[in-house]
Amino acid sequence: MEASNNEFLRGTLKTIVLKLLAERGRMYGYEITQSVKDRTNGEIMLTFGALYPVLHKLEQEGFLLTESVEVDGRLRKYYSLTPSGSASAVQKVSEFERFVEAMQSLLQPQQGLSVG
């Protein structure tokens, strides 16, 4: 899948980030891209151009806390959820699950509608 311009991905990026942070607690940007890549077997590749604006937006909205740590001579910025971020993660994931279910029922071939 073509990474950052994918229209399906764009709307779900926030959900992905919140969900991962809810599971893992504290992550930095590159770690998030790698973990998405590993778990989807390379099917979803986040580019930095798509990821960092979302992270900063979530931080601005008060969902994420950041902490900069110096690692090997460079600054690494770790993100973690605030309480409102955790609540939003639960809500977004459940909303998305409902959306996926609805999509699945749309994608299934329609049965039982025989021509009368």
Partner 1 sequence: MKKLTSHQLGLLQDHLIRHNTNDALLAELLDHLACEAEEYLWKGYNFDLALEKITQEANSKAVKYLRETYRQDVAMSEEQLQTATLDDIVFEFRNKAYGAYDLRQSYPMALRNALILGISLFMMLMAFLSGMNQGEWSFISSWGIMWMVGVCGMAYSIGTWVFNRPPHRLTVPI
CB of 93 to partner 1, least distance (A): 21
Torsion on CA atoms 4, 10, 13, 16, rounded to nearest 10: -100
Identify which of residues 47 and 94 has a Cβ nearer to partner 1 in the complex: 47
CB of 77 to partner 1, least distance (A): 5
Identify which of residues 84 and 115 has a Cβ nearer to partner 1 in the complex: 84
Helical axes 29-39 vs 7-24, angle rounded to 10°: 110
- Positions in the binding site for partner 1 (CB under 8 A): 4, 28-30, 33, 47-50, 52-54, 56-57, 60, 68, 71-77
Q: How far apart are CA 87 and CA 85, in angstroms?
A: 5
